[in-house]
Amino acid sequence: MGSKAGIGISVGSDSIRILKGQRDPNGLLQILDAIVLPSPLREDTNAEVLHQEAKKILKSRKFSGSGLIGITGRELILRYVQVPQVSEQRLKAMLAYEISELSDKIGGDLATGFKILDSSSLRGFRDEQLALVALTKNPFLESLFRKIQRLRLHPTGATPNSIALFRCFIRQGSFDSNETLLLVDIGKNNTDICLCQQSKLLFARNLSHGAALLTQAIQEQLGLPEAEAERLKIQESSLLPGSSENKANDAIRYGAGQLLSSIKSSLTFAKQQLKSPQLKVDRVCLSGGGGQQKGLPEYLSKGLGIPVIRFDPAVEIDLSLCSEAGKSLITSAPLEWAVPLGILEASTDETGFSLKLLPKIYEKRSQFLEGPFFLYLTVLFTISYLAVHILSTQRQYDILTRQKQKLLSQRNLLEELKESFKNSEENTRQYQGKLALFQDAILPGTHFFKVITKLNAKIPSNIWIKSVAIKEESQTQKKIIEIAEPMGVVAAI
């Protein structure tokens, strides 16, 4: 697997948490940076000022990229639809009809998505499947996308926070064999829940209240402003058994009781949807900022009759490449980063369980890119490209063929020249041999004429030459003649 980079964006009512990371060659997630900014969902008078400040912070940190947005709360609806086991095409048609009916009941323009859950381990689903359907209002999602884009970030889709929580735990948590776990992430105003078994998601739900229930209880019972009630909840209140009796502790017990009731009702609802009334939960794993409340795991454990532990998602993650500011944010409050980590997991690895929603304008683009018309265009472009490539290749082949023929002709010419040179060399040797014979033949005659000429110049006119004989001398005699000849004539008369 290559090192794919991406971002995970968790949008809360007060703040937005963004993680930037990448996959190493082994597929492990490496965190590069983390940042907390004011939420784009805030509607106070300082929203635009906060937005501009957020842009400056992101620019100074060189924080950019594309990835999923996590959504939850009142804007997200999760429904379950039982469908028969049919072909994928027919399944999509059936779910489209179910989603259309849900849209009519809820009202408004909706963005939707669905995912078939693995219910093979449940006895109630032998001939049926259970589909998880996510719905959110399309204007809300389009507005959220635009606000994130104004930060120069690029959302690729939205995913429920409960799905992201599951993705985080699958990667960073630990399962025992056949163990059924309930994951609970408590934010300020929202709580995300998912039920999983043998590393498979069985059920997901989101609640539109969270740790603010405890703060509100202190506010109402003690008559304090929100900021003071929040400080008292975090610094001085506890749900631990045996903690001192005071009004603040009594107040947060009331708020925690409301939270406990919501979790219990969610479990009951899950068993109904899964057709498993006897389903047993072995363990509860708690995360989110609200999960840090003193004594909350012990309080929930007593109320549910199930072990409850805190889930720290930062224990196993790789922070070696993370900025110091980002590392400090994560390690100082690790429970708050479970959902952002899950969103980042889904952004950088599309092979795992995922459920993505898109605003309709983006969905139409996606459908166009995946539809038959774009497929025809792609095929046509591919054929055109191949045709051009074939023609270009043919031209190159013709050029290479002509060059080959030219080189072969030159080679043949060189072979002919080589053969001609060999023949010329042989003729030259023959001519040299013949020339040597001619030289040997004419050499005595040359000396003869020289001797006659000199004798005629020296002897008296009344003496004449009667006969001349040419006799081959030994090499020694020739040397003597060659030496004596310049000094006089050597002849026999």
Residue 444 in this model has a pLDDT that exceeds 70: no
Neighbours of 384 (CB within 10 A): 10
Q: Which of 137-146, 324-333, 337-346, 379-388 has the lowest mean pLDDT?
A: 379-388
Per-residue DSSP letters for 234-258? HHT---STT----HHHHHHHHHHHH
Residue 442 in this model has a pLDDT that exceeds 70: no
Hey, what's the torsion of the CAs at 176, 192, 362, 99, to 10 degrees? 90
The residue that leads in pLDDT, 431 or 191, is 191
Q: Report the distance separating Cα 493 and Cα 490, nearest Å.
A: 10
Q: What is the pLDDT of residue 315?
A: 86
Q: What is the pLDDT of residue 214?
A: 94
3-state percent helix, strand, coil for the chain, nearest multiple of 5? 50, 20, 30
Q: What is the pLDDT of residue 431?
A: 77
Q: What is the pLDDT of residue 338?
A: 96
- Do 191 and 207 meet the contact criterion of CB atoms below 8 Å apart? yes
* Mean pLDDT of the 298-324 span: 93
Q: Convert the pLDDT of each residue in 200-253 to its tens digit.
A: 999 999 999 999 999 999 999 999 999 999 999 999 899 998 777 788 898 999
* Mean pLDDT of the 62-75 span: 92
* Mean pLDDT of the 376-394 span: 71
Q: Report the distance separating Cα 390 and Cα 386, nearest Å.
A: 6
* Mean pLDDT of the 331-335 span: 94
The residue that leads in pLDDT, 485 or 473, is 473
> Closest Cα to residue 130, out of 264, 270, 282, 266?
270
* Nearest-5° Cα angle at 467, 463 to 468: 115
Q: What is the pLDDT of residue 96?
A: 82
Which element (helix H / strand E) includes 285?
strand 283-287
* pLDDT-derived band at 18, boundaries 50, 70, 90: very high
- Do 356 and 113 meet the contact criterion of CB atoms below 8 Å apart? yes
CA 298 from chain center: how many Å? 42
Return the axis-axis angle of helices 212-222 and 226-235, rounded to nearest 10°. 110
Q: Report the distance separating Cα 364 and Cα 360, nearest Å.
A: 6
Instruction: Tell how strand 283-287 and strand 180-186 pair up.
Output: parallel
Task: Read off the tokens for 243.
Answer: 């903690």
Q: Report the distance separating Cα 311 and Cα 440, nearest Å.
A: 117
Q: Report the distance separating Cα 236 and Cα 449, nearest Å.
A: 146
Q: What is the pLDDT of residue 109?
A: 84
Residue 489 in this model has a pLDDT that exceeds 50: no
Give the length of the chain.
493
- Do 312 and 334 meet the contact criterion of CB atoms below 8 Å apart? yes
CA dist list (Å): 175 to 185, 198, 314, 336: 18, 7, 17, 21
Residue 469 in this model has a pLDDT that exceeds 70: no
* Mean pLDDT of the 131-144 span: 92
Residue 167 in this model has a pLDDT that exceeds 80: yes
- Mean pLDDT (the chain, rounded): 84
Q: Which of 302-316, 433-447, 468-482 has the lowest mean pLDDT?
A: 468-482
The terminus-to-terminus CA distance of the chain in angstroms comes to 115
Residue 49 in this model has a pLDDT that exceeds 80: no
Report which DSSP code applies to 174: -
* Mean pLDDT of the 327-340 span: 95
**Strand (E) positions, 39-178?**
66-71, 76-84, 110-117, 128-137, 154-160
Q: What is the largest CA-CA distance in the chain?
A: 176
> Closest Cα to residue 344, out of 330, 358, 362, 331?
330
Q: Which of 49-53, 210-214, 285-289 has the lowest mean pLDDT?
A: 49-53
Residue 274 in this model has a pLDDT that exceeds 60: yes
Q: What is the pLDDT of residue 376?
A: 63
Q: What is the pLDDT of residue 438?
A: 66
Q: Convert the pLDDT of each residue in 90-108 to its tens digit.
A: 888 888 887 788 777 777 7
At position 487, the amino acid (one-letter code) is M
* Mean pLDDT of the 337-363 span: 90
* Mean pLDDT of the 4-8 span: 90
* pLDDT-derived band at 443, boundaries 50, 70, 90: low
Q: What is the pLDDT of residue 486?
A: 45
Residue 357 in this model has a pLDDT that exceeds 70: yes
Q: What is the pLDDT of residue 479?
A: 44
